[in-house]
Structure 1
Amino acid sequence: MKKTDTKYQAFIQILREELIPAMGCTEPIALAYAAAIARDTLEAIPERIEVEASGSLIKNVKSVIVPNTQQLKGIPAAVTAGIIAGNAEKELEVIAEVSEEQIQEMKRYLEQTPITVKPLNSGITFDLIIKVYKGTSYSKIRIANYHTNVVLVEKDHNILEQKEINEETEEGLTDRSLLSMEDIWDFSQTVDIEDVRAIIHPQIVCNMEIAEEGIRGDYGANIGSVLLGMGENNVQTRAKAMAAAASDARMNGCELPVVINSGSGNQGITTSVPVIVYARDLKVSEEQMYRALVLANLTTIHQKTPIGRLSAYCGAVSAGVGAGAGIAYLCGGGYREIIHTVVNAVAIVSGMVCDGAKASCAAKIASSVDAGILGYYMYKNGQQFYGGDGLVTKGVEATLKNIGRLGKEGMKETNREIIRIMTEEPC
């Protein structure tokens, strides 16, 4: 692919849009971001807050720890963090810098401030509205379709900023329909590394740093450490363990940033960490590692685009498949090996459900990475799944189209039932 090609520049822009830093699970961080904007618009600390959020967003915030809050969980905690300590200019790193005094202030604010949360049934999977009050004044912020897409800023009945919402289309982002596995492969093999270095390098540094912290520390169920303790000291185990460890830390309050993919830190981790582990084990050149990461990231984005940002379909699956593609390339695979790895891997784990962000995400990540690696080794050993085997059909693009349909349309009722189960009061 030539630099002058429209797709070449589009693919770089897609990577630039998707591979961005975030601290903490991106759904509570989106709430904190909206809350910080609402406070700035109100020009005061609110006395009362009303939150409306789509069911999928509620699901992903319910059980995950909000970083820099001393282990607080849930929508009120995320909103409070944004109100008290948020810097809206930092977007998904909105609460990256929080003092001890602010943490104590958060706790007092939560105790003293009425914060109501209601489901938002707008028909949009990712949707939130925050309305904050001070005396007779109010401000209202809405974010829809993706985590930083502010579509409404309102104060005291005056619209300060508004964007049209066209159902679930991601207005303002580069057209993802340009992506195909053939073009992704071509781009990954021809891109000038200097054109992507500033995008990929932070992913290597940040995501490996939190993976190493996950191994050192005591986070969640410590899936990464458990995997390393099972006695198999090989690159496959280390790839799974390091990715899981990064999620262990991220889901359980670690205050290190992650470079995300498709709106998710766990997807950014799962896509990148196994590839980096393999690259270092195989002692490949820096250029090969960068090309593998370009391939892995764009493969993940390509799969996630038809599914959407939030779904009952676990995003770690797409990311594990992306990692499998990158690993296949590092092991000497060409385009044929890559596409068969992708098809084999999605056949293995598609259907794993997302029941929100929490400690068990790390175990799902390990399973997804394992499927990506197995997908490659199957083909390397002359084995594959064929068209007609379940969701697998003839051709990689047709198979991925089936997976997208499953994740977006087929699992809608599954998502609703998961949300009902998670939000029911325990007996």
Structure 2
Amino acid sequence: MDKKLYDAYIKILEEELVPAMGCTEPIAIAYGAALARETLGEIPQKVIISASGNIIKNVKSVVVPNTGGLRGIPAAAAAGVVAGKAEKKLEVLADITPEEIEEISSYLEKADFEVKTVESGCVFDIIVELQSKEHRAAVRIQGHHTNVVHVEKDGKILVDKVYAEGQEGERTDRSLLCIEEIIRFADQVEIAQVEKVIQRQIDYNTAIAREGLSGKWGAGIGKILLMSYGNSVHNRAKAMAAAGSDARMNGCDMPVVINSGSGNQGMTASLPV
């Protein structure tokens, strides 16, 4: 396999198989809100979240992790504003304390939240605007969950990147991927070069799947599959993936290693194997 292509495939794996806590769309909103709050430099009185229809659909009913069971877009933004750590990106809510959970609930009641649809033609589009009495800050994320394309404060532009749908930005070119080369890479890869990232995927995704089977999360589909259809290999594979998804989508604070930006895809692609 061509070395340049081989190295690109290693890089793609490292870029794709990253940890995230909770459903990735509300986490992206929380990340944008945390970054906007850092830019603003204070807790705002008003929060405006503008998002594409696909984002709104994926966030509106999902439990935001580490919030005491809060759901939806305002909750995700409030968590990011009050307690998010933007430098942790998709683990932006990982370090929330019990005291901060109470602060998030209180802030949701006190602050003014507005949710709007943005019609940009971009499937993944989030704008978080924060307003205090004297200042304003805004952050825009497009294309994928951590791709910040615009940051501004009080009209001063701090970050401004042009994004086109399908553009990879600073990531490795995904058009290099094809079935033939993926198979060749899998046959030839030095395991030591991917062991760390693959082992993390195994450890994290197995742990949350086991939590989904042992705890009370969501509809308990994993448990139902095992009780209804037995302990065969193919049924255990389905049950593990379903259990991990139940836990993740219902507020479990354990991280998942994602695939193509999705935790559910990350578990579906790894746990059955």
Structure 2 residue 147 is the aligned partner of structure 1 residue 152 = no
Q: 168-177 vs 216-225, which deviates more?
A: 168-177
**Residue 177 of structure 1: which of 175, 178, 185 is its match?**
175
Deviations 1:80-114 (A, max 9, x none): 00011100010000001111110111111000100
Distance, in Å, in 2 between the alignment partners of 1:166 and 1:260 is: 23
Q: What is the CA-CA distance between 1:199 and the residue it aligns to? A: 1.3
For 1:37, what is the secondary structure of its paired residue?
helix
- Is the Cα–Cα contact under 8 Å of residues 204 and 272 in structure 1 kept in the other structure? yes
1:203 to 201, 204, 224: 201
Q: Aligned equivalents of 1:106 and 1:179: distance in 2?
A: 42
* Distance in 1 of aligned mates of 2:53 and 2:118: 7
Q: After the TM superposition, which residues 188-337 of structure 1 pair with which residues of structure 2 at under 5 Å, given as runs?
A: 188-275=186-273
Distance of 1:16 and 1:267 partners within structure 2: 16
2:102 is aligned, of 101, 104, 107, to: 104
Report whether the alignment pairs 1:142 with 2:140.
yes
* Aligned structure 1 segments of 4 or more residues deviating by more than 2 angstroms: none
Higher RCO by CA contacts (8 Å cutoff, separation 6 or greater): 2
SS in 1 for 2:50: strand
Report the counterpart of residue 82 of structure 2 in structure 1: 84
1:21-40 equivalence runs, <5 A: 21-40=19-38
Cα deviation for residue 175 of structure 1 reads 1.0
Instruction: Report the counterpart of residue 8 of structure 1 in structure 2.
Output: 6
Q: Assess if the C-alpha contact under 8 Å between 1:81 and 1:95 holds in 2.
A: yes
**Matched residue type, 2:268:** T
Matched residues in 2 for 1:24 and 1:171: separation?
25
Q: Secondary structure of the residue that 1:274 maps to in structure 2?
A: coil
> Which of 77, 97, 119 is the matching residue for 2:117?
119
Distance 2:210 2:165 in 1: 40
Which residue identity is paired with 1:217? G
Counting aligned pairs with the same residue, the percent is: 55
DSSP-derived class of the 1:109 partner: helix
Supply the distance in 2 between the matched residues of 1:137 and 1:36 (Cα, whole angstroms): 16
> Distance between the aligned counterparts of 1:110 and 1:64, measured in 2?
16
- Which residue in 2 is equivalent to 1:70? 68
1-side partners of 2:177 and 2:248: how far apart? Answer: 29
SS for the counterpart of 2:105 is helix
Q: How many Å separate the matches in 2 of 1:92 and 1:26?
A: 7
Letter in 2 for 1:163: K
Q: Matched residue pairs, number?
A: 273
Whether contact under 8 Å (1:16, 1:199) holds in the other structure is yes
Separation of aligned partners in 1, 2:166 and 2:55:
14
Separation in 2, partners of 1:207, 1:146: 21
Q: CA deviation at 1:228?
A: 0.6
Alignment RMSD, CA only?
A: 0.9
Alpha-carbon distance in 2 for matches of 1:264, 1:231: 27
| Residue in structure 2 matching 1:131, options 115, 129, 132 | 129
**Contact 1:125–1:168 (8 Å) recurs in 2:** no
Contact 2:229 2:235 in 1 (8 A): no
Which one-letter code corresponds to 1:109 in the other structure?
A: Y
The gaps in structure 2 that reach 5 residues or longer are: none
Report the structure, 1 or 2, having the larger helix content. 1
Amino acid paired to 2:223: S
Q: Distance in 1 between matches of 2:103 and 2:166?
A: 37
Contact 2:32 2:141 in 1 (8 A): yes
Please give the TM-score of this superposition, normalised by the length of structure 1: 0.63
Deviation at 1:176, TM superposition (A): 1.0
Q: From the two aligned structures, give the one with the greater strand fraction.
A: 2
Specify the SS of the correspondent of 2:32.
helix
In the alignment, the residues of structure 1 paired with residue 120 and residue 243 of structure 2 have an alpha-carbon distance, to the nearest angstrom, of 36
Between the aligned partners of 1:146 and 1:231, the Cα distance in structure 2 is: 37
Equivalents in 2 of 1:112, 1:46: separation in Å? 11
Q: Distance in 1 between matches of 2:18 and 2:196?
A: 11
- Residue 231 of structure 1: CA displacement? 4.3
Contact 2:168 2:174 in 1 (8 A): no
The amino acid that maps onto 2:201 is Q
Alpha-carbon distance in 1 for matches of 2:253, 2:169: 31
1:40 Cα deviation (Å)? 0.3
CA gap of 1:146–1:231, structure 2 versus 1, over 3 A, is closer
Q: What's the secondary structure of 2:271's corresponding residue? A: helix
